[in-house]
Structure 1
Amino acid sequence: MQVKIVHGQEVTPYIADLARLRTEVFRAFPYLYEGSEDYEASYLATYAQSPESLFVLALDGARIVGASTGVPMTDASDVFRAPFVTAGIAPETVFYFGESVLLSSYRGRGLGVRFFEERERYARRLGRFDWCAFCAVERPKDHSLRPADYVPLDDFWGKRGYAHRDDLRTMLAWQDIGEADETEKPMSFWLKPAR
């Protein structure tokens, strides 16, 4: 296993592989994402446009088996920035962690912890952020597609020092597995001091 760090346009050669990985991992609960690799490639290209974006890639040989992203909140889309503006938290003070995706067969090996460590280290190195933040989808506990053995990541995030901020919320639309159209899903943020 190798962990590789790339920034901005350096991710371009990996975008197709990352799009495939994201589409595969996000099909699982709680995202249930009926996505397309074309959409994912387009989404990742927006991160590549930020010279200060971060991609933490987990590779098994030449195969990407996991990835984690981050970007200054000022370079994130408005759907993520707006809750901070409303709450009086300047987006310039926030480093936003995008998604972490990891194939299930590679979980439990410390890569999830490493993803957080690398993003936090990078935010500190940039030196101008007060907060590290990410958001997660909220699904009802009785959701019909929730696996019986599903364990939310709340405890994992709490052990990393992140606190749930119920006052920081947004809505994000995507097409669930089995849906004909996109529907909006509630997302809430988790924060940790960056320094």
Structure 2
Amino acid sequence: MALEVKSLTGQQLHDVLPALARLRIIVFRDWPYLYDGTLEYEEKYLAQFAAAPGAVCIIAQDGDEIVGASTAAPMIEHADEFAEPFEKAGFDLNKIFYCGESVLLKSHRGHGLGHAFFDGREAHARKLGGFTHSTFCRVVRPDDHPLMPADYLPLDGFWKKRGYAPVDGLVATYDWKDVDQTEETTHQMQFWMKPL
């Protein structure tokens, strides 16, 4: 396995959007997101992300294949659904750096790429300057959800080692179609933060 991690911005970022869309559909179909996505939606969503000033995508390659990716951008450039809870809590959106998805094929997990993704995004935030906090969010699922795998291990311990912690009351909602549903439903997204 010849893994290489790169930080992409500008046109280089645009060039990898098809691979990122494919990874999002594959990885987010699994627990806990259960996302029944479409390429049409992905192209629209990712085009908006890529157009954001300050956006970055950290990719992991195995040879020529992109096997993982992680995105981030200033919160002020992100979806209103995510910005609203921060505004209500009194945060200055201009000082919050939002770490979006991290998607990695199962075949390439356990090789330190999760740390590389966070390292790359946090380094980009520091390079841009002016940010006091880094944040991301995770979907909230009930412990008795019928589709939760028996061997599921949440990533809370990993995130805490990175210095992140959940912030009480900092919750957004986002709609998507689950794999076991016929239409979109609303999902709660809990934010975690750390000082930069």
RMSD over aligned Cα, in angstroms?
0.9
The number of equivalent residue pairs is 194
Distance 1:47 1:9 in 2: 13
Unaligned runs of 5+ in 2: none
Question: In 1, distance between residues paired with 2:96 and 2:57?
Answer: 17
TM normalised by structure 2 equals 0.97
- What is the CA-CA distance between 1:17 and the residue it aligns to? 1.3
2:164 corresponds in structure 1 to 162
How far apart are 1:143 and its partner, in Å? 0.4
Contact kept, 8 Å, 2:139 with 2:189, in 1: the verdict is: yes
TM-score (norm 1): 0.97
Displacement, 1:10? Answer: 2.6
CA contact (8 A) 1:9 1:51 kept: no
Q: CA deviation at 1:7?
A: 1.1
Distance 1:41 1:3 in 2: 23
Matched residue of 1:121: which SS?
helix
Q: Write the distance in 1 (CA, Å) between the matches of 2:30 and 2:96.
A: 28
- Please state how far the C-alpha of 1:15 moved relative to its aligned partner: 1.2
| Residue of structure 2 equivalent to 1:76 | 78
Distance in 2 between residues matched to 1:8 and 1:136, nearest whole Å: 27
**Which of structure 1's runs of 4+ aligned residues deviate more than 2 A?**
none
- Distance in 2 of aligned mates of 1:24 and 1:116: 21
Task: Identify which of 177, 180, 183 aligns with 2:179.
Answer: 177
Identical amino acids, percent of aligned pairs: 50
Rounded to whole Å, the distance in 2 between the matches of 1:11 and 1:89 is 29
Give 1:43's aligned amino acid.
Answer: Y
List alignment gaps of at least 5 residues for structure 1. Answer: none
Contact map agreement 2:53 2:77 (CA 8 A) in 1: no
> After superposition, where does 1:80-159 map in structure 2 within 5 Å?
80-159=82-161
| Structure 1 position 9, deviation (Å) | 3.6
